[in-house]
Amino acid sequence: MEELLHIRPATIEDAKMLFEWRNDEETRRASITTAPLTWEEHAAWLEKVVNGVFRDRSLCIAEVDGNPVGVVRSDTRADGFTEMSYTVSPAWRGKGLGKRMVTQFAREHLRGKKLAARIKKGANPASEAIARALGLKPYAEGPSDDPNEPPTVEWR
């Protein structure tokens, strides 16, 4: 039987954990922005998120039996699409939780919204599979923020 997955809003108490997940080498390698964050940048950003400064952003923690296993974020863009991104905790990778937490988050929080994702071309097959599970398809390719990184593919 699959473990019960619970999605809850991120809190300031999640700061250290999220900072460690975000700066994990594998997470950065798959991210659009690959540079490590400083604690000061991260703490200031998270405080704004949890205090609702970014009205178009949602940040939630996925938990199994009370254990944090990942984070899912959504940002409503000016073009009407809601862009999703996620990270599975390094300790929980390879257990099939990415797809479960992203699809559950979309079902619980983004029903009826036009979804999008940006994924590095050819660099993250798991994220491409999750995008397909959401019904998304490759839409357009654009340059990466970093010229040393592969191009980014927009999925819609």
Q: How does pLDDT run across 39-87, given as a tens digit for each residue? A: 999 999 999 999 999 999 999 999 999 999 999 999 999 999 999 999 9
Quickly tell me which residue has 């460690």 as its tokens: 20
Residue 77 tokens read as: 């863009």
Residue 150, CA distances (Å) to 37, 116, 142, 144 in order: 21, 19, 9, 6
CA dihedral sign, ordered 106, 109, 115, 117:
negative
- For each of the domains in the chain, give its residue range(s) and CATH number, in order of start: 5-155 (3.40.630.30)
Whole-prediction pTM: 0.94
Pairing state of beta strands 81-88 and 114-120?
A: parallel
Contacts of 146 (CB under 8 A, 6+ apart): 33, 34
**Pairwise CA distance, residues 23 & 34, whole Å:** 9
Q: How does pLDDT run across 20-51, given as a tens digit for each residue? A: 999 999 999 999 989 999 999 999 999 999 99
Contact criterion met (CB below 8 Å) for 54 and 48? yes
Q: Residues 122-148: what's their mean pLDDT?
A: 93
Quickly tell me which residue has 């979309």 as its tokens: 106
CB atoms near residue 142 (< 10 Å): 11
- Answer whether residue 131 shows pLDDT above 80: yes
Quickly tell me which residue has 């940048």 as its tokens: 41
- Answer whether residue 132 shows pLDDT above 50: yes
**pLDDT (0 to 100) of residue 147:** 86
- Answer whether residue 1 shows pLDDT above 50: no
Q: How does pLDDT run across 86-129, given as a tens digit for each residue? A: 999 999 999 999 999 999 999 999 999 999 999 999 989 999 99
Contacts of 55 (CB under 8 A, 6+ apart): none
Residue 132 one-letter amino acid: R
Pairing state of beta strands 5-9 and 67-76?
A: unpaired
